[in-house]
Amino acid sequence: MDSGLAGKVVLVTGGSRGIGKAAAVQFANEGARVFITYANDSRMAAETVEEIRSQGSECHAIRMDLTDRDSIPQAISSIAGSSAGIDVLVNNAVTGDRKPVRIAEGSPDAWLAMIDHNLMSTYLVTRAVVPFMQKGAWGRMVHLSSDVAEDGMPGASSYAASKSGLHGFSRALAVELASANIFSNVVMPGLTLTERNTAEFDPGLLTQFARAVPAKRLGTPEDVASTIVYLGSQANRFVNGEAIRVTGGK
């Protein structure tokens, strides 16, 4: 099946590692012109760019601080200006403290900070990108959520709220922009074996989590990326406004 991605301009926020990197690599393998953003680690971004270029594909990295609202439209304009538009947006980057905080112990400021990091930043990036998709009369957006948005988790009320907010946001965009051939979908991974998760979780605990998955393993970044790439491709002709779980059946 032809993905139709050859020559398409794809922006993956937080594309230096984990799911974002896996998506960037797979988009590049389909012939897309890939741009990744990073916040602080320019070395890791450069390594990802070099890895993709070494395979004969196009990739560029640009710094974009999601906590700096002024930097976001500037970065988007820079990307669109150098590439004559943006066709596919993958809102993957997240920031914020992942430490569990029980509802009675957290502060309103910390709760709002998580919403700002994960939901407001997605709004700002999307708001800056949509005009370029409208100009090109085609676009695909994929927003990374989490199974926590539907399943919940103790100590994760702010995280769950920020991620479930993406679902309503994406659904509204899907209805608003479909007539312009612009689709918006959400991908909800379960616990995924990213570098960050394998470093933070005890191996025995990861094994325990895997046993709870009907597929009897945890997902990899590549598992999630394949769904992202399909939703972001021309092969996706009619999937719009959906929130798709990538959890191995959990």
Helix, strand, coil percent values for the chain (each to nearest 5): 50, 15, 35
From its phi and psi, is residue 17 left (phi > 0), alpha (psi between -120 and 50) or beta? Answer: beta
Helix 108-115 × helix 157-177 angle, to 10°? 30
111 phi, psi to nearest 5 deg? -65, -45
**Would you call 159 a catalytic residue per the annotation?**
yes
Q: State the CB neighbour count (10 A cutoff) for residue 247.
A: 22
Residue in 38, 123, 159, 230 annotated catalytic = 159
Count how many Cα atoms sit within 13 Å of the Cα of residue 69 in the half-sphere of its side chain. Answer: 7
Q: Dihedrals φ, ψ of 139, to 5°?
A: -175, 155
Catalytic positions: 159
